[in-house]
Amino acid sequence: MNDQTDVLLAARGLSLSYGTVPAVSQLDLEVRAGEVVALMGANGAGKSTTLMGLAGLLGPAEGHVELMGEPTTEPLHRRARRGVRYVSEERSVIRSLSTLDNLRLGPGPVDDALSLFPELEALLDRPAGLLSGGEQQIVTLARALAGDVRVLLADELSLGLAPLIVQRLLGAARDAAAQRGVGVLLVEQHAHLALKHADRAYVLHRGQIVLSGPADELSDRLDEIEASYLHGAMPAAATP
Ligand SMILES: Nc1ncnc2c1ncn2[C@@H]1O[C@H](COP(=O)(O)OP(=O)(O)OP(=O)(O)O)[C@@H](O)[C@H]1O
- For the stretch 115-126, pLDDT in tens is 999 999 999 999
Measured by CA distance, the residue closest to atom 14 of ligand 1 is: 46
> pLDDT digits over 134-191, tens only?
999 999 999 999 999 999 999 998 888 999 999 999 999 999 999 999 999 999 888 8
**Whether 205 contacts 42, CB under 8 Å:** yes
63 dihedral zone (left: phi>0; alpha: psi -120 to 50; beta):
left
Spans of all domains in the chain: 4-231
> pLDDT digits over 41-89, tens only?
999 999 999 999 999 999 999 999 999 999 999 999 999 999 999 998 8
CA of 51 relative to ligand 1 center, distance in Å: 11
Separation between Cα atoms, residue 207 and residue 4, nearest integer Å: 25
> Given this model, what pLDDT does residue 4 score?
56
> Given this model, what pLDDT does residue 233 score?
62
Measured by CA distance, the residue closest to atom 29 of ligand 1 is: 44
Higher-scoring residue by pLDDT: 33, 222 = 33
> Given this model, what pLDDT does residue 237 score?
57
Separation between Cα atoms, residue 24 and residue 71, nearest integer Å: 19
Q: Give residue ranges with CB within 6 A of ligand 1.
A: 18, 21, 23, 41, 43-49, 189
**ipTM attached to this prediction:** 0.96
Selection from 59, 86, 218 nearest residue 149 by Cα: 86
Measured by CA distance, the residue closest to atom 31 of ligand 1 is: 44
CA of 47 relative to ligand 1 center, distance in Å: 8
**CATH class entry, domain 4-231:** alpha beta
Measured by CA distance, the residue closest to atom 5 of ligand 1 is: 18
Separation between Cα atoms, residue 232 and residue 41, nearest integer Å: 10
Pocket test of ligand 1: the residue of 18, 40, 54, 89 to mutate, having most ligand atoms within 8 Å of its CB, is 18
Q: How confident is the model at residue 20 (pLDDT cuts 50, 70, 90)?
A: very high
